[in-house]
């Protein structure tokens, strides 16, 4: 390795495009991960002023999974500014109105409230499904690893897979499954 | 005026008023508005600024520590080891580098930094630290532990 190549780092100052699949992921834990890429916290040259953040495309935001009973318990507050203008929206209501909003708010709230935050949010592109414009998708060069693997639902397994799955016991012939 | 008795020194308020005020005005030169022109206002803000400066000397060190840690964490995550394990293993290997040097290495000498993570990983595996296991890839570091355990 030559003396020059030893410290060569291509694309250190380039904006990289990442993609993240939000299917069955916790939006609040995902926000902590996505935030790092949006702000450039994963680069050893990070500095709050040097504008090294990247673009992140989040797909399938409609498929996020909230932990526990948070769909029913988590409340989003909004105030119009007029007297009596306060409103409280449950997470499931917000999600039916706009499937990108919960993730967007989670990421927005995970960052410190400074002047840079709104500009950082401009680099975030959230889509409720996998239909991403090709112009955006062409830029993507990295996929962010999901927090947890997406399990296959029991009714999505084929009959052969269920039949060939190893079993501890066979039910007796006369056993009635209720 | 010349004082000959010690009692009169108590009433003497330092040098001439002009120079006393000038000292304050020089510190207030970059303030905006009456804070820089009117002495009675300027002196309050200069005192406050000096307090901030005193606190700031400590805060600057903390801020730099946070920044260096952020950069080191970014560096070590590239090589699949976490920050705590990395620092602990370097310490156990008698590689006593501080945050500033490690952050500089992570940014400017990525291959040197990778070698450090390899040393740390080997050490952590040999010492059986909980956060790391044999599945972690380690380049080119051979220790007694590496030979016996693999």
pLDDT tens digits along A152-177: 888 899 999 988 989 898 888 899 88
- CATH 1.10.1900.20 positions along chain B are 63-149
User: What does pLDDT average to over chain A?
Assistant: 92
Q: Which of A1, A7, A42 is opposite residue B108, by nearest beta carbon?
A: A7
In angstroms, the separation between the Cα of residue B82 and the nearest Cα of chain A is 13
**Residue A177 pLDDT:** 80
Does residue A111 belong to the interface with chain B, where contact is any CB pair within 8 Å? no
| DSSP letter for each residue of A115-144 | THHHHHHHTEEE-SSS---HHHHTTEEEEP
Q: How far apart are the first and last CA of chain A?
A: 70
Tokens 């630290």 belong to residue: B129
What percent of chain A shows pLDDT beyond 70? 97
Task: Classify residue A152 as exposed, middle or buried by CB count within 10 Å of its CB (0-12, 13-18, 19+).
Answer: exposed
In angstroms, the separation between the Cα of residue B26 and the nearest Cα of chain A is 30
- Asked if pLDDT for residue B15 goes beyond 80, the answer is no
What domains are there in chain A, each with its CATH number?
12-149 (3.90.1180.10)
Count Cβ atoms below 10 Å from residue B9 Cβ, excluding itself: 8
Chain B positions in Cβ-Cβ contact with residue A43 (cut-off 8 Å): 74
**Residue B3 pLDDT:** 67
Each residue's pLDDT tens digit, A92-142: 999 999 999 999 999 999 999 999 999 999 999 999 999 999 999 999 999
**Residue A53 pLDDT:** 93
Test B110 with A46 for CB contact under 8 angstroms: no
Q: A8 pLDDT band (50/70/90 cuts)? A: low
Q: A7 pLDDT band (50/70/90 cuts)? A: low
**Residue A124 pLDDT:** 97
User: Between 1.20.120.80, 1.10.1900.20, 3.40.50.720, 1.10.569.10, what CATH number should domain B63-149 receive?
Assistant: 1.10.1900.20
A42 closest CA partner among A145, A148, A149? A145
DSSP, collapsed to helix, strand or coil, labels residue A43 as: coil
| Residues from B in contact with A at Cβ < 8 Å | 67, 70-72, 74-75, 77-78, 103, 106-111, 113
Q: What's the ipTM?
A: 0.80
- Asked if pLDDT for residue B148 goes beyond 70, the answer is no
In angstroms, the separation between the Cα of residue A131 and the nearest Cα of chain B is 30
Test A44 with B109 for CB contact under 8 angstroms: no
């Amino acid at each position: 390795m030559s003396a020059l190549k030893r410290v060569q780092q291509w694309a250190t100052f380039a904006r990289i495009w990442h993609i993240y699949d939000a299917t069955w992921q916790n939006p609040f834990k995902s926000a902590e991960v996505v935030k790092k890429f949006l702000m450039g916290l994963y680069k050893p040259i990070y500095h709050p002023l040097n504008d090294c953040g990247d673009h992140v495309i989040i797909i399938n935001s409609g498929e996020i999974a909230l932990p526990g009973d948070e769909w029913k318990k988590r409340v989003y507050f909004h105030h119009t500014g007029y007297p009596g203008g306060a409103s409280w929206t449950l997470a499931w209501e917000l999600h039916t109105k706009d499937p990108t909003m919960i993730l967007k708010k989670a990421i927005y709230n995970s960052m410190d409230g400074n002047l840079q935050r709104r500009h950082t949010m401009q680099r975030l592109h959230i889509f409720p499904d996998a239909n991403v414009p090709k112009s955006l998708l062409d830029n993507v060069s990295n996929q962010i690893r999901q927090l947890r693997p997406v399990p296959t639902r029991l009714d999505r397994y084929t009959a052969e897979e269920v039949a060939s799955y190893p079993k501890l016991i066979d039910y007796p012939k006369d056993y009635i499954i209720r | 005026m010349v004082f000959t008795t010690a009692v009169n020194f108590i009433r003497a308020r330092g040098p001439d008023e002009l120079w006393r005020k000038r000292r304050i005005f020089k510190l207030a030169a970059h303030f905006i508005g009456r804070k820089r022109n009117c002495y009675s206002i300027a002196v309050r803000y200069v005192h406050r600024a000096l307090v901030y400066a005193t606190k700031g000397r400590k805060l600057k060190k903390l801020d730099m520590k946070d920044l260096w840690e952020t950069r080191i964490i970014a560096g070590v995550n590239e090589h699949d080891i976490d920050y705590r394990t990395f620092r602990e293993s370097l310490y156990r290997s008698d590689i006593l580098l501080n945050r500033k040097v490690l952050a500089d290495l992570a940014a400017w000498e990525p291959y040197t930094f990778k070698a450090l993570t390899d040393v740390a990983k080997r050490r952590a595996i040999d010492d059986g630290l909980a956060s790391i296991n044999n599945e972690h890839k380690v380049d080119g570091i051979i220790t007694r532990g590496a030979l016996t355990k693999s």
